[in-house]
Chain A
Amino acid sequence: MAFVQNVPFFSIMISMFAGIVSSVLSAKTARRLNIIATVTIGLLSVWLLVFLIQSDIGSYTYMMGHFPAPWGNEIRAGVLEALMAIVFCVIMLLSLLGGLHKLAEEVAPAKENIFYILVDLLLGSLLALIYTNDIFTAYVFVEINTLAACGLIAIRETGRTFEAAVRYMIMSLLGSGLLLMGICMLYDMTGHLLMSNMKASIDVIMQEGTYAVPMLITIGLMVVGLAIKSALFPFHAWLPDAYGYSTISSAAMLSSLVSKGYIFLLVKIFYRVIGLEYITESHVLNIIFWFAITGMIFGSVNAIWEKDIRRMVAFSSVAQIGYIYMGFGLGTEAGIIASVYHMLMHSATKSMLFISAMGLTDVSGKNRDFFALTGAGYRNKVAGAGFLVGSLSMVGIPIFAGFVSKLLFAEAAISGASWRMFPAIITLGISTILNAVYFMKTVLRIYTPITKEEELEKGFVRIQWNQQKIYTVAIILFILLNVFLGTNSKPILQMIEVGLHNFM
């Protein structure tokens, strides 16, 4: 075995160890450690990705300990896992850097190192969710992920965030509970926890048709559990407050990473535990499809109604999560590829939108009202550019990442050739127009100039790029990442396709 194949194990252990040690470090050292750990893991993942592309092993399993798989723990790595790990590391780092000066303002100094503990453990649990090959390991790390997300919401200690954190916790624990019930039932029927062994026995069960009813319920429980945790439309009530009032780094991480971790786990369950053909046959997918379609419309409509810019961006997440589940709902491979690409695109764009929205509200007297933002794009040019690029990407303008994913969804819907084609295409069209309405209206608002006198009168400030260097670097990297995803979609899509094939 090549040494590089140890990377998944190293990445998980490095981030967990950083989290554990951070609790005795000062906030400053903990921050450094966190940045070093994230960069190291990102570089290691790049190494792994290059190795996997060059070699012909496809994917491989890694024994965690001295005992082989059905007895001991096991993790598994392939092209797609390595790609996800890289993207997660990059976005985590950029979200942290973009919100760094806000952290000092909004988090109590004595509790700042707890923030870094949570971030480290969040990264560790996300990596474990990506790499795991054992469904119970996945559940354990889902728990860590949930608690870390709760802490990230509550770290800005205001009434709103406490309420949002508790609401998030209740909803999220309900989701965990349903997932756990699903796992228990699967274990009862198959006698395994390892994904590949589970799939082998589910194949037998499905062909014999012995456990048809419990299998349907189990699929339903697991899908609904993970859908609640990733805020699919009717279960999204916790989302606007959680993303809207937490400190900006937390909001960016929650929207772009936490929910994506659960969705990636769901993809793994579809492919590696139950098998795509049985998922497609079951009616659970129809329900998911209709939820997703309604979510795409309602999320956008709510975003149009919303006057608070942070909550608007948060509601936009509901619509985007709807897109992802719509791709699953199509039930075809093309649909799932589109969804996975949309996950990457949404993580890159939504975190940028949150961070630039914060830059815009900061130069408007911390007023988050829509009309207060008039001319904010001139007062903070970097944030304005970030918001512009993010909006264009979300609406689906070429050269940005959003265009590719919309195209992929449309292609997937047409090539699917089932009754799902019409609702999918029509909703995609409507939702895109609605997206354009609320994003373009905001872009126009921030680029509507106001006079100097008005600015002075309202106490607005202007911030140049050299007054916020780290923030500027973060936004520029975000823009580059977005353009990179938009213009180099072909190799990325290939990786996703190869990765999903390796899943089977």
Chain B
Amino acid sequence: MSKQIPQDELNKKFSYRLKQWMKGNVDQYVGLLEMQRQEEVGVTKREANRHKKEQDKLFAEIYDTENNKVYKNFLRFYKVAAVICCVALIVMLLVTVSYLPPIGDPTNPAHNEVVEKYIEDGMQDTGAVNIVTGMILDYRAFDTFGESNVLFIATCVVMLMMRDDTRKKGVDSEDMKYEPRFDTILQQVTYILFPLIMIFGIYVVLNGHLSPGGGFSGGAIMGAGLILYLNAYGIEKMRRFFTENTHRYICVAALSFYCLAKSYSFFTGANHLHSIISAGVPGRIISAGLILPLNICVGLVVACTMYSFYTLFRKGGY
């Protein structure tokens, strides 16, 4: 026989509260969770309708859509032509694929001395156990330099188009008021997950030359972590450690290092000079010459780019 517990004591017990909550009698979060009702953002439906009507009217006046036969025919032609072009391209590509060498056939032209050397000598040449990393950051490091510059220039162009310079410093734009700041569930989950995600991302980057992964994948993981943090805790807390300048300096430092270090390597390689960079012992964490630092650079650039895209598209600023 179990002992009868007074109601007061019972109320404090976790199992009892959980039971009540499961039954739906009590809501745990009433009074604890500050949820502000969000106001309707932007234009109302009526306004949008009026705006659309005005635009249609303007359009009708410019192109005379009622009587303009050329315009109507063009619209019809446009749709038909688009469908025909797409179908033609699809058919053409499918036909082409049927002529190409089959997947996985050992006699394929792609299985030649290039691939063979990568697989056989990759570890010895580059010092990286992960051949893919050895390929992209040592054999073909120039291409990867181009790729990281694609990310850099993409951020620049997005910044150019989306960054809102009219906003005063410290004053948030209209939509910033309506972000969920007190979402306890998200905050608690982030509290646990954020360090794990970041550590995992750093691990993937640092072990890029030893295990599957590398700068691009690790950077993407870290970028996702930063985005999660921003969503949970809001831009204010994010600004304590990540502002536009942080992004800028990290990118410049990483890319400059990549540029200069690899320039040294290209220069010595092309002129057949002795290079002080050695491949080291494959399998150790400090090995594979420049691959580890370059992985870190690429990882930083990718993480910053992902976070910047998110925050620029969301707020037009950091």
Contact = CB atoms under 8 A, between A and B. Distances in A.
B267 to A, nearest CB: 7
B154 to A, nearest CB: 6
Given A16-B149, A214-B99, A189 B157 contact: no
Contact of B160 (A16, A136, A154, A188): A154
B138 to A, nearest CB: 7
Interface in A46-88: 62-67, 70-73
B93 interface: yes
Contacts of B138: 65, 67
B199 interface: no
B271 A148 contact: no
Interface string A8-51: 01000100110111011000000000000000000000000000
A261 to B, nearest CB: 14
A73 B138 CA distance: 10
Given A71-B139, A121-B149, A185-B96, A24 B252 contact: yes
B248 A66 contact: no
B251 interface: yes
Contacts of B259: 13, 16-17, 20
Contacts of A16: 145, 149, 259
B236 interface: no
B270 A64 contact: yes
Contacts of B256: 17, 20-21
Interface stretch (A106-114, A432-440, A455-463): A106-114
Contacts of B114: 70-71, 191-192
B315 interface: no
Given A17-B256, A24-B252, A188-B101, A65 B110 contact: no
**Interface SS of chain B: helix, strand, loop or mixed?**
helix
Given A9-B266, A17-B256, A137-B146, A24 B248 contact: yes
Nearest to A184: B100
Nearest to B111: A191
Contact of A72 (B99, B139, B146): B139
A404 B263 CA distance: 41
Contact of A213 (B99, B141, B152, B262): B99
B159 interface: yes
B265 A71 contact: no
A190 interface: yes
B153 interface: yes
B156 interface: yes
Contacts of A140: 143, 146-147, 150
A144 B150 CA distance: 5
A322 to B, nearest CB: 22
Contact of B159 (A6, A114, A137): A114
Interface residues of A, number: 60
B249 interface: yes
Nearest to A194: B114
Interface string B110-146: 1111110110000001000000000000111111011
B165 A111 contact: yes
B170 interface: no
B26 interface: no
Given A67-B125, A188-B110, A192-B114, A20 B252 contact: yes
Contacts of A477: none
B265 A66 contact: yes
A250 to B, nearest CB: 12
A330 B266 CA distance: 40
A20 B248 CA distance: 10
A400 interface: no
B157 A73 contact: no
A141 B150 CA distance: 8
Nearest to A188: B100
A290 interface: no
Contacts of A444: none
A67 B139 contact: yes
A132 B211 CA distance: 32
B163 interface: yes
A110 B286 CA distance: 42
A118 B152 CA distance: 10
Nearest to A122: B153
A189 B100 contact: yes
Contacts of B146: 125, 128, 137, 140-141, 143-144
A118 B153 CA distance: 7
**7 closest A-B pairs (Cβ-Cβ)?**
A140-B146, A191-B109, A66-B269, A73-B142, A151-B157, A191-B110, A65-B269
Given A110-B165, A213-B96, 12 more contacts: A1-B270, A9-B267, A63-B269, A64-B269, A65-B138, A66-B268, A67-B269, A71-B114, A73-B141, A191-B110, A192-B114, A213-B95
8 contacts: A67-B269, A71-B114, A114-B156, A140-B146, A151-B153, A191-B115, A211-B100, A214-B99
Interface of A: 1, 6, 9, 13, 16-17, 19-21, 23-24, 62-67, 70-73, 108, 110-111, 114, 117-118, 121, 124-125, 128, 134, 136-137, 140-141, 143-144, 147-148, 150-151, 154-155, 162, 165, 181, 185, 187-192, 201, 211, 213-214, 217-218
